[in-house]
Amino acid sequence: MIFEKNNEYLALEQLFKIHTLFNQIGELVQEYEYLNSLRSLKSLFRQLISSETLDFQGDPLEGLQIMGMLESRNLDFETVILTSVNEGILPSGKSNNSFIPFDLKNEFGLPTYKEKDAVYTYHFYRLLQRAKNIYLIYNTEPDVLGRR
């Protein structure tokens, strides 16, 4: 294949994910008869593609390492590049992914978004602690972050 000859493995992985997504949509169309318009298929595709992720693999001792904040704990790097360091993304802010209200969590000693932010803050500073080169990349475009 042309992608293999050019060593474009990321493009191959993306094509594979889209292929499996279309197979999943095909199965859903056969199972549910109300998925019969282009508008509903487009909506379904957008919903499914928004939850897809791509896993990166590589040699841990060589080259560029792409990882999440929690994956970087207890590791020291000479150069750190953090992307999406916009307010509301890092830290994620007051995310309420629970049916238990904040006041009840506080009353009964359950962890709230404050403890989650504290953990991310610790990992953020720990990641930067021994790095020699630090690059924080953020976006200044107002429409790109989903706010209009």
For the chain, the helix, strand and coil percentages under 3-state DSSP, each to the nearest 5: 45, 5, 50
CA distances from 41 to 14, 19, 115 (A): 20, 15, 40
**Residue carrying the six token digits 């989650």:** 116
Q: What is the mean pLDDT of residues 10-15?
A: 84
86-89-92 Cα angle (round to 5): 135
pLDDT at 95: 64
User: Taking a C-beta distance cutoff of 8 angstroms, is the pair 94, 87 a contact?
Assistant: no
**Dihedral over Cα of 118, 124, 127, 130: its sign:** negative
pLDDT computed for residue 122 by the predictor: 87
Angle, vertex CA 70, rays to CA 65 and CA 71, nearest 5: 35
Omega cis (within 30) before 91: yes
Closest CA to 121 of 84, 93, 79, 99: 93
Mean pLDDT value across the chain: 81
β-bridge mates for residue 134, sequence order: 80
Q: Which of 6-10, 70-74, 100-104 has the highest mean pLDDT?
A: 100-104
147 has a pLDDT exceeding 60: no
Structure tokens at 112: 């709230």
pLDDT tens digits for 88-133?
777 666 666 678 888 898 899 888 888 888 888 888 888 899 899 9
Question: Residue 76: pLDDT above 80?
Answer: yes
List pLDDT tens digits, range 13-64: 888 889 999 999 889 888 888 878 888 888 888 888 888 887 766 666 777 7
Section 54-79 average pLDDT = 77
Q: Is this model's pTM higher than 0.75 or not? A: no
Residue 148's pLDDT is 44
- Could you tell me the residue ranges of all domains in the chain? 2-50, 70-136
Q: Which residues contact 98 (CB under 8 A, 6 or more apart)?
A: 105
